[in-house]
Structure 1
Amino acid sequence: MEPIKVQSEGGLNVTLTIRLLMHGKEVGSIIGKKGETVKKMREDSGARINISEGNCPERIVTITGPTDAIFKAFAMIAYKFEEDIINSMSNSPATSKPPVTLRLVVPASQCGSLIGKGGSKIKEMRESTGAQVQVAGDMLPNSTERAVTISGAPEAIIQCVKQICVVMLESPPKGATIPYRPKPASTPVIFSGGQGYTIQGQYAIPHPDQLSKLHQLAMQQTPFNPLGQTTPAFPAGLDANNQASTHELTIPNDLIGCIIGRQGTKINEIRQMSGAQIKIANAMEGSSERQITITGTPANISLAQYLINARFRDVAAMWNDPSSMTTS
């Protein structure tokens, strides 16, 4: 149902759309038990409130309606977040109450008007509302939008949002806007004994979808034969002479942490034990995998690969035995 357009303060009689970027926990708070909280927010404010789908660490919350309906929706969200902060403080020794923080997603072409000449507009907003306002210097990935972070008391945030709405109505976006879409979170998957597992709480649950990917990953690890009783198997394309060679692996981003270890302890251990040089490429935007380059003699490479695979097995074993995590 179309929201009823109501004459609101400042003589605005328009329908506006504001986009918010929220973490999963914040979204859960807005939705509430069985969707009751968001339903009440929709009914009481008269605004349309939509939450982006998908298993993402971040979600987009879109609020559409006449300006007064948007302000009511923002007020309800800000007070709900303040309530969450107060509830979380009852369990912590912290004495000073942290501010409520909301992140707006604004087309980059409108951010100049929000900042104003020499920062004059953003300074005026900060001083007149008492809220902190920050406009991100960089655009959000794969978009032409920037994050605008507002923090302070709920009353200050509401006044600040009102001023931002006025600026956005006075200075419409220029050109086409590529909206920011949060990337889905790929569930961490570990591999053990021919099976892929996802982590749920402290248990590892068999996970069929990525099994083939992980199976291929395990298959490209070379069996290590420390005693040399049979001819060692070297990675394809390498000669068996002790010449320095290079071998590359691709590993899902989700698994790279267990190879690196805390502050690089595990990868340094693998380097020292194998004698191979191991380089992990930086994460590429839009890619769910990381490249690992191993350089050394075929024996060094073989051992490095074996140790990397053993690391996957160790992590899988830890997750697969919940009792080992509960006993001290």
Structure 2
Amino acid sequence: MDSSLVEGGLNVTLTIRLLMHGKVSKGESVKKMREESGARINISEGNCPERIITLAGPTTSIFKAFSMIIEKLEEDISTSMTNSTATSKPPVTMRLVVPASQCGSLIGKGGCKIKEIRESAGAQVQVAGDMLPNSTERAITVAGTPQSIIECVKQICVVMLESPPKGVTIPYRPKPSGSPVIFAGGQLTKLHQLAMQQSPFPIAHKYDFFIFVIFPLFNTLMAFVCVPSAGMDASAQTGSHELTIPNDLIGCIIGRQGAKINEIRQMSGAQIKIANPVEGSTDRQVTITGSHASISLAEYLINAR
């Protein structure tokens, strides 16, 4: 499959997911893009700092809409430069959201494929090493001139069409700050100790851990402190919950010699059992047992892994 397939359409249908920061207008500009491109354009709902823009349709329609979005972003940059003291205009930057199972094909052996895309398109391309929270997707950041970004994304789409995703894809859904997960006092102490202790993780991972786990749960924790009787009742109740995890992701949860799953057990206070692989199945069954608070925390940490 070559880039002419993406250029000309030829009945190929694509779906591109973009991750945008800040407020995304859903007014006349989006209506105009839909009408002129013929693509289906959907913007995720919710009061979130991030939004997912989904473009779907034939390749010709998709890239018409994508080009219009790029042009709007460059126009916004030019407008912001009017009252700026900066001497050079920053590049247009886009973030694609793709299944993690396709990132290996995009990077290529020894990084050869992504190097080829960078050189031929003339854009900067960076594939995130970690998956987006509570998903099996990664962000791909593309920066450069509008034309170089468009060419780069076309080449990325060719790779994705040639290498379909494997297993179950859990899509990234931006969450507002203050995700409702209940913590008991002992669990918060364990969380703090683990975040502060010396570990083989890079420092950036510790900050990510604080941002995505501790800070969003501050309001929930305060509610728990203010209503201790309700919190204690919730913590005292026990039960079990089952998760289905793709085989190719189970290693991320277990960790080297079981280090990660043991950390999750220690932090959450829950019992976690991972079933043996079943012949012919691409998934593994994970059973979490404990209090409601322990199960919620364990599930959150497993999804984050």
Q: Distance in 1 between matches of 2:162 and 2:146?
A: 25
Which residue of 137, 144, 150 maps to 1:145? 137
CA displacement at 1:288 relative to structure 2: 4.5
CA displacement at 1:283 relative to structure 2: 4.0
Aligned to 2:170: 178
Q: Distance in 1 between matches of 2:17 and 2:211?
A: 34
- Structure 1 114/54 Cα, relative in aligned 2: closer, same or farther at 3 Å? same
Which residue of 47, 50, 59 maps to 1:55? 47
CA displacement at 1:68 relative to structure 2: 1.3
Greater relative contact order: 1 or 2 (C-alpha under 8 angstroms, separation 6 or more)?
2
Identical-pair percentage: 74
Greater per-residue helix proportion: 2
CA displacement at 1:14 relative to structure 2: 1.4
Contact 2:34/2:40, CA 8 A, preserved across alignment:
yes
Aligned to 2:217: 287
Amino acid corresponding to residue 96 of structure 1 in structure 2:
S
Aligned to 1:166: 158
Aligned to 1:103: 95
Does 2:91 match 1:93? no
Contact 1:282/1:290, CA 8 A, preserved across alignment:
no
Q: Distance in 1 between matches of 2:152 and 2:6?
A: 16
Equivalent residue runs for 1:156-305 within 5 Å: 156-185=148-177, 283-284=213-214, 287-289=217-219
Aligned to 1:18: 16
Contact 2:132/2:138, CA 8 A, preserved across alignment:
yes
Amino acid corresponding to residue 24 of structure 1 in structure 2:
G
Q: Distance in 1 between matches of 2:7 and 2:186?
A: 66
CA displacement at 1:82 relative to structure 2: 0.3
User: For structure 2, which runs of at least 5 residues remain unmatched after alignment?
Assistant: 180-184, 190-209, 223-305
TM-score, length-scaled by structure 2: 0.58
- Structure 1 62/288 Cα, relative in aligned 2: closer, same or farther at 3 Å? farther
Q: RMSD of the alignment, in Å? A: 3.0
Does 2:37 match 1:42? no
- Structure 1 10/167 Cα, relative in aligned 2: closer, same or farther at 3 Å? farther
Aligned to 2:294: none
Q: Distance in 2 between matches of 1:149 and 1:247?
A: 39
SS at match of 1:287: helix
Amino acid corresponding to residue 19 of structure 1 in structure 2:
R
Aligned to 1:80: 72
- CA deviation string 1:269-306 (max 9, x = no partner): xxxxxxxxxxx9994387344769xxxxxxxxxxxxxx
Q: Distance in 2 between matches of 1:51 and 1:149?
A: 19
Aligned to 2:112: 120
Does 2:123 match 1:131? yes
Contact 1:49/1:64, CA 8 A, preserved across alignment:
yes
Larger radius of gyration: 1
Aligned length in residues: 193
**Over 2 Å off, 4+ runs:** 7-13, 246-250, 280-292
- Structure 1 87/283 Cα, relative in aligned 2: closer, same or farther at 3 Å? same
